[in-house]
Amino acid sequence: MTPAGLLVDSQGRRLRDLRVSVTDRCNLRCLYCLPESEAGQSHIRQQGPSKPPQWLPKDQILSFEEIERVVRVGVRLGIQKVRLTGGEPLLRTNVEQLVARLAGIPDLADLAMTTNGLQFRSQAPALRAAGLRRVSFSLDTLARDSFRRITGWDGLEEVLAGIGLAQELGLQPVKVNAVIIRGLNEGEVETLAGFANGRGVSLRFIEFMPLDSAHAWLKEKVVPGHEILARLQARFDLRPVAGDSPSATARRWAFADGRGEVGIIAPVTEPFCGHCNRLRLTADGKIRTCLFSVSEHDLRSRLRDDTSDEALAEWLKGVVWQKETGHQIGEPEFVAPSRSVSRVGG
């Protein structure tokens, strides 16, 4: 395969990572994504409650066959990694069938999923048997009351049990993602890191980003990655993990005892846009070249007419060429995307 046959943008970045949202639906109402209550939003900005989310009608959601077709075309263009996201991907009926379809694609090097974990235990054996290789869990707190306040649901024990089951089933690595928000859960940084060490998992601390449906994000609620790192280094003996690709989103440190690791994803204060190699497919068939894109490219209509795979590939290459230079968070010209992270995929 020549470079001309790959997904390369105008900055010379080669795209190898495809995030696929399989549904916009979610069974949680995390205040940094889908806040519905004034109580939840008050942790970010005082304002009235947002409207309950309106889910996409079924006929607008891509079928498993359509998703598989897109991934097959993408792999021929150099896509190596696929991550299934949502919303909450385990709300998609028979999602293990999609996993099996994608796991059978030759030359797809990695197939992973991000989940909130509430339904993971009941579906995990089928997902593993279908070919899922890695899983990431969203977990912002280890305190039951705080979990309920952040997510709108009393589900902490279920998530913790899911993490344990993922390890038992041999999914490697098991990752845990924690969004840290000033005044909400910043006091749990050390506790979460201790959990990662004790359980032997990879925990990612993520800066709070402007992706909530209520558009209530405030920069002063961001806990900078360097602040998180300083606190971790003051408490734990950490060793930098070398050898990651420049396109990796997290800077990583391993615990000295060899059990688990922590990473920091700091897109607000330390953008890594210059090496971004990710492309996103929304549940309703739109291509997004950046998590913060304000425009989308309609792939669904092309999947549902007579467009050939070759024509789809050429169209994708043209879309990728237009990938944004960077997200511009913090700049005067920054415009938050109209759709929350649940609707564009994490």
pLDDT in tens, 98-110: 999 999 999 999 9
**Cis, peptide link before residue 194, omega less than 30° from 0:** no
The residues with which 239 forms a beta bridge, in sequence order, are 254
Residue 258 falls in which region: left (phi positive, over 0), alpha (psi -120 to 50) or beta = left
Task: Tell me which residue of 20, 14, 179 sits closest to 112, measured CA to CA.
Answer: 20
* Whether pLDDT at 216 is above 80: no
Residue where the block lists tokens 């994608």:
102
Q: What are the tokens at 168?
A: 């038992």
Instruction: Note the pLDDT of residue 62.
Output: 98
Q: Of the ranges 16-30, 56-70, 248-262, 332-346, which one carries the lowest mean pLDDT score?
A: 332-346
Place 49 in a pLDDT band, splitting at 50, 70 and 90: very low
Percent of the chain with pLDDT strictly greater than 90 = 73
CA atoms 280, 289, 26, 54: torsion sign: negative
* Whether pLDDT at 196 is above 70: yes
* Whether pLDDT at 38 is above 60: no
**Under 8 Å between Cβ of 189 and 232:** yes
Whole-number average pLDDT of the chain:
89
For the chain, give me the number of helices (H) and strands (E)? 11, 12
Instruction: Note the pLDDT of residue 253.
Output: 97
Mean pLDDT of the region 104-118 = 97
The secondary structure element, H or E, covering residue 112 is strand 110-115
* Whether pLDDT at 43 is above 80: no
Q: Give the tens place of pLDDT for each residue, 242-290.
A: 888 887 889 999 999 999 999 999 988 887 788 899 999 999 999 999 8
Instruction: Note the pLDDT of residue 301.
Output: 98
Q: What is the dihedral of CA 198, 203, 102, 6, to 10 degrees?
A: -140
Q: Between 92 and 52, where is the model more confident?
A: 92
As a whole number of angstroms, the distance between CA 35 and CA 42 comes to: 10
Place 47 in a pLDDT band, splitting at 50, 70 and 90: very low
Instruction: Note the pLDDT of residue 325.
Output: 85
* Whether pLDDT at 313 is above 80: yes
Domain segments of the chain as ranges: 3-344
Instruction: Note the pLDDT of residue 188.
Output: 98
Query: Which are the contacts of 210, defined by CB distance < 8 A and separation ≥ 6?
Result: 217, 292, 329, 334, 336
Instruction: Note the pLDDT of residue 257.
Output: 97
Alpha-helical segments (H) within the chain: 38-41, 64-76, 95-103, 120-130, 144-151, 156-168, 189-199, 225-235, 300-303, 309-321, 341-344
* Whether pLDDT at 46 is above 50: no
Instruction: Note the pLDDT of residue 51.
Output: 56
Place 32 in a pLDDT band, splitting at 50, 70 and 90: confident
Q: What are the tokens at 263?
A: 């990473």
**Under 8 Å between Cβ of 292 and 329:** yes
* Whether pLDDT at 198 is above 70: yes
Instruction: Note the pLDDT of residue 52.
Output: 62
CATH 3.20.20.70 is right for the domain spanning 3-344: yes
* Whether pLDDT at 37 is above 60: no
Residue 342: how many CA atoms within 13 Å on its side-chain side?
A: 24
Instruction: Note the pLDDT of residue 249.
Output: 86
- Give the best-scoring range by mean pLDDT among 3-12, 13-22, 43-52: 13-22
Residue 331: exposed, middle, or buried by beta-carbon count in 10 A (0-12, 13-18, 19+)?
exposed
As a whole number of angstroms, the distance between CA 277 and CA 14 comes to: 6
* Whether pLDDT at 208 is above 60: yes
Place 322 in a pLDDT band, splitting at 50, 70 and 90: very high
Instruction: Note the pLDDT of residue 213.
Output: 53
As a whole number of angstroms, the distance between CA 120 and CA 128 comes to: 11
Instruction: Note the pLDDT of residue 271.
Output: 76
Read off φ and ψ for residue 115, nearest 5 degrees: -140, 155
Q: Of the ranges 51-60, 70-79, 193-202, 306-315, which one carries the lowest mean pLDDT score?
A: 51-60
Place 211 in a pLDDT band, splitting at 50, 70 and 90: low
As a whole number of angstroms, the distance between CA 217 and CA 325 comes to: 23
